[in-house]
A and B are shown apart, each in its own frame.
Chain A
Amino acid sequence: EPEVTQTPSHQVTQMGQEVILRCVPISNHLYFYWYRQILGQKVEFLVSFYNNEISEKSEIFDDQFSVERPDGSNFTLKIRSTKLEDSAMYFCASGGRSSRGTDTQYFGPGTRLTVL
C-alpha cells in the first residue's frame, strides 16, 4: 500500500541554523500539507500546497518557513533560522484527489526536530 515517507526521522540542530525536512507524498496525490505537533499539544496545521503553490497557511507559517516541490516527488519544508520553540514533530500529509482537497489525508511518520 502506498505511503507517505519522511526523512530524517530525527533532526537535531542549533538555534539559528537552517533545516530542511523532506517528504515523499503518495504519487498520485495532488494536495500536500505540513502539520506540526509540539510535545503534549494538539496537531496544528502549517501549510497546504496545490498546483505548485501555497494554497493556505496558518499564522505559525511566517517568513522563516518555506515549502517547495523541487521535482515531481519530493515536498520539503525549510525553516530558515530555527528557534527553540520550533522543536516539535513535523508531519507531512498528502491527499485530495478530488477538488478542494476533501479526500482522506495520509500522514507520514513524522520528523522530530530538536532545536538546542
Chain B
Amino acid sequence: KQEVTQIPAALSVPEGENLVLNCSFTDSAIYNLQWFRQDPGKGLTSLLLIQSSQREQTSGRLNASLDKSSGRSTLYIAASQPGDSATYLCAPPPGAGGTSYGKLTFGQGTILTVHP
C-alpha cells in the first residue's frame, strides 16, 4: 500500500526566497508522480506530472525532481511570491505491481505561506 509523507508540514518565508518541498513514498515502482496546489476551501490544481523515466520536470518557477530508487520527489519553487501561498500536495499512484487505474495517494501536504 502506497504511503506518502511530506516535509515540512508548514513553511513560512519572506517573498523572494527559493523553496524546497519534500515528498517521500513507500512504493517506488510508480509510473509517475503528480504535484498539486490546493487553496483553502478549493479544489486541486495540477502543477506538474513527472514521469518515472524523467528525473526533472519544469513549469515556470516550479521544478520537480523524482528519484524513484529512494522513493523521493522534491518540488523547488524559485523566487517565491505571496500568490504562491497554498497547500502543496504530492500524489504518486500505486506501484506497478497489481492492478492500478491511476488512483492517487496523497500526502498531508506542505502549507506554504509567503509574506510580502
Contact = CB atoms under 8 A, between A and B. Distances in A.
A45 B101 contact: no
Interface of B: 31-32, 34, 36, 41-46, 49, 89, 91, 93, 99-109
Given A42-B106, A42-B108, A105-B104, A56 B99 contact: yes
B102 A48 contact: yes
Contacts of A102: 31-32, 93, 102
Contact of B107 (A35, A42, A105, A108): A42
Nearest to B47: A104
A107 B105 CA distance: 14
Contact of B106 (A43, A55, A110): A43
Nearest to A48: B101
Given A31-B101, A43-B44, A103 B106 contact: no
A42 B89 CA distance: 9
Interface residues of A, number: 28
A105 B99 CA distance: 18
B23 to A, nearest CB: 13
A65 interface: no
B107 A31 contact: no
A13 B46 CA distance: 30
Interface string A15-57: 0000000000000000101010000001111001010000110
Contact of B43 (A50, A56, A110): A110
For B32, B43, B49, B99, the residue with the greatest tally of chain A CB atoms inside 10 Å of its CB is B43
